[in-house]
Amino acid sequence: MAVSEYFANSYSEARAKFLGAASTAGANLTYHRLPKYRGPELEELFVDVAMLGPQNPENLLVLISGTHGVEGFCGSGCQVGYFTDQLYEVLSPTSGSMLIHALNPFGFAWLRRVNEDNVDLNRNFHDFAQPLPSSEPYEALHDWLILTEWEGKNRDEADAALRDYIAKKGFRTFQAELTAGQYTRRNGLFYGGKEATWSNQILRQILEDCIPPTLKKLAVIDFHTGLGRVGYGEPIHVGSDDDFALAKKWYGEEVKSLSQGTAVATALAGSVADAFPRSTPDRKVIYLALEFGTVPPMDVLAALRADHWLHAIPGRAAHMRADIERQMRQAFYLDFPWWKAAVYARATDFAMRAARAFQT
């Protein structure tokens, strides 16, 4: 099978390919259905989990797709390839694999980065009984990002204001203020929510059920798209500085640190990494976001702004929906054989590096 065939054109096709490849590999499958919501084809929506290896492994490789919905096209294809090419066979007899497919199935199916409540899942992993991070930096930008009208004078003025702001502060500062996560604007970008989402709760349940107390090493690779050089997967460590040193030992010096500001992404709060156990002297946990570049960052931002404008009011501009969905898809998934080949080769490489780390 050609590498490009591992990738799908819709959530339904991606799920069918994942379940088929996992079943052929002999994986143990569990299904978690999103209540109340369906996809554009009226299909039910699921987080699917496939397990391979011993019941109580000493080491576990976790591959996650679809944390950011529409970004699931990339991760799902890599997961299908992992099973189809039997990459799990490189693991030692005491090691296992867990593949979590479409962690945000609503966003995947509807070509959105956010979930059914407009929540960015990668900003949602907080203790909501405690004070949330400040949203003040984002507040200064919101009215330029989420417009009352997508076309015309309002759009032109907002675009000009954003350009001036970036010229004054620099793109990196703008990126940090925009993407850190905000908790005041339900219709805004990078909204972290007011409570744990369904996907948040399901992931915690999966980890509680599937991570044994005997585990010694846990390697997590969460597939993302939309930042960095086109076709290149930047490995971004999310965690403590002590674990960052271990991440470089496992995966190489090219690993970047989110907390130290060396990554193509900037610091954020409430990431999926916070659902996983912390490293201890007896159990090492390394979480990587493997971030693949697609189109220029301002094109990605334009797609996000259009998507959030479209969904800010129910039934808004139905005639523009198809174009905006196409824009979102292209911002986070390049449907070209060369891009898919580059993505899959990189994903395979890092799965192999994790397997070698388990043997040291």
Q: What pLDDT does residue 256 have?
A: 98
CA dist 290 and 47 (Å) reads 20
Q: What pLDDT does residue 313 have?
A: 87
For 76-120, what is the HEC assignment?
A: HHHHHHHHHCCHHHHCCCCEEEEEEECCCHHHHHHCCCCCCCCCC
CA dist 294 and 307 (Å) reads 17
Task: Tell me whether residue 14 is in a domain.
Answer: yes
Residue 143 pLDDT more than 90? yes
Does one domain contain both 239 and 113? yes
Pull the structure tokens for residue 136. Answer: 């003040």
Q: Is 66 helix (H, G, I), strand (E, B) or coil?
A: coil
Q: What pLDDT does residue 360 have?
A: 86
Does one domain contain both 162 and 219? no
Tens digits of residue pLDDT in 178-215 = 999 999 999 999 999 999 999 999 999 999 999 998 89
Pull the structure tokens for residue 214. Answer: 């005997």
Task: Tell me whether residue 43 is in a domain.
Answer: yes
DSSP secondary structure letter of residue 279: P
Task: Point out the least confidently predicted range of 112-116, 212-216, 297-301, 326-330.
Answer: 212-216
Banded pLDDT at 1 (limits 50, 70, 90): confident
Average pLDDT, the chain: 97
| Residue at 43: amino acid letter | E
Does one domain contain both 14 and 68? yes
Q: Residue 64 forms beta bridges with which residues?
A: 100, 222
Does one domain contain both 290 and 280? yes
Does one domain contain both 142 and 275? no
Task: Tell me whether residue 62 is in a domain.
Answer: yes
Q: Is 275 helix (H, G, I), strand (E, B) or coil?
A: helix
Does one domain contain both 29 and 98? yes
Q: What is the pTM of this model?
A: 0.97
Does one domain contain both 93 and 142? no
Task: Tell me whether residue 164 is in a domain.
Answer: yes
**Sign of CA pseudo-dihedral 172, 285, 204, 43:** positive
CA dist 86 and 90 (Å) reads 8
Domain that residue 168 falls in: 136-188+300-318
Phi-psi region at 316: left, alpha or beta (left = phi > 0; alpha = psi -120 to 50): beta
Task: Tell me whether residue 239 is in a domain.
Answer: yes
Tens digits of residue pLDDT in 245-293 = 999 999 999 999 999 999 999 999 999 999 999 999 999 999 999 999 9
Does one domain contain both 51 and 8? yes
Pull the structure tokens for residue 295. Answer: 């189109």
CA dist 129 and 145 (Å) reads 29
Q: What pLDDT does residue 262 have?
A: 94
Does one domain contain both 162 and 72? no
Does one domain contain both 60 and 207? yes
Task: Tell me whether residue 324 is in a domain.
Answer: no
Task: Point out the least confidently predicted range of 155-169, 287-301, 310-324.
Answer: 310-324
Task: Tell me whether residue 88 is in a domain.
Answer: yes
Q: What pLDDT does residue 315 have?
A: 84
Task: Tell me whether residue 323 is in a domain.
Answer: no
Does one domain contain both 74 and 11? yes
Q: How many domains, the chain? A: 2
Q: In what order do the strands lie in the sheet with 233-237?
A: 28-38, 44-52, 95-101, 59-64, 217-230, 284-293, 233-237, 256-257
Q: What pLDDT does residue 317 have?
A: 85
CB 83 within 8 A of CB 342: no
CATH, residue 243: 3.40.630.10
Tens digits of residue pLDDT in 63-110 = 999 999 999 999 999 999 999 999 999 999 999 999 999 999 999 999
Pull the structure tokens for residue 27. Answer: 């994986």
Does one domain contain both 114 and 245? yes
Q: What pLDDT does residue 271 have?
A: 97
Q: What pLDDT does residue 183 have?
A: 97
